[in-house]
Amino acid sequence: MTWGHILSFSQNKGLWIAVMVFTPFLLLGVDYGIRVLTSVYKTDLGSSVVIYGDEYVKSGLWVFDCKYSRVISRERLPVPLAELSALDDVAIGEMNYLSRRDAGSVKEAIRAIIEKPEWYRNLQYAYSGVGESHKFFLLTDHAGFKWALEVDQILRLSRAYRFVVTARPHNPETYVDYTKAFEAAVKSCPAPQ
C-alpha cells in the first residue's frame, strides 16, 4: 500500500465519520421542518413559541384546542382516586385571577371543602395540558355559595404526581367543564378532528 492510498483512505474515513455523525441530526431537522410546515393543529403563543397538537389528534384519542393549546381526551379520564386518598396534605395553588382579599376567602373555602372525608369522590375530568397534566373539577356548596373546585394533577420529573387545588365561585355561563372544553376544542382548529 502506498502513502497516497493511506492518505486517501484516512481522508475518506474522516468524511464518512462526519457523514455518519451529522446525518441523524440532518434527518431530525428535516423531519421537524416538515412537521412545522404541514402542522394543522397548533397554537402560536408568540416569541417563536408554538404548541403543536398534530400527534395528539392523529392518535385518535385526543382533541386539540388551537385557542388554549390544551388537549381533551375523547373519553373522560378516570379520577386518580387512589393517589388522592393517599395524600397527607393537599397543596393549594395560587389564584392570580382573584384579588388578595378574595383569594384569602377562597382558600378558606378550599380548606373547609377538602377537610371533608373523601372530598375528591365526585371529581370529574375536564381537560389536559400538553404533556402530563390533567384538570379535574368538583361543583360543591360551601357557606351558601356554589364553588367550582379544580384539581390539577401534574407529573413531576420523578414520575410521581403532584396535586394542586384551586377554586372559584361557580358561574355556569363561564365555567369550562368537559363538555364545554371538548366542544370548544373541536371548533377551535381550521381542520376537523
Quick: pLDDT tens for 107-152.
888 999 999 999 999 999 999 998 889 999 999 998 888 999 999 9
**Angle, vertex CA 46, rays to CA 45 and CA 47, nearest 5:** 130
CA atoms of 191 and 124, how far apart (whole Å):
28
Across the range 67-80, mean pLDDT stands at 95
Single out the residue of 147, 152, 156, 148 nearest to residue 177, CA to CA.
Answer: 148
Query: What are the residue boundaries of the structural domains of the chain, listed by start?
Result: 3-38, 76-188
Looking at residue 154, the DSSP 8-state letter turns out to be E
Label the pairing between strands 62-65 and 124-129. Answer: unpaired
Instruction: Kindly report the average pLDDT of the chain as a whole number.
Output: 83
**pLDDT tens for each residue of 158-170:** 767 889 999 988 9
- What percent of the chain clears pLDDT 90, i.e. is strictly above it? 45
Nearest to 110 by CA among 135, 128, 126, 92: 92
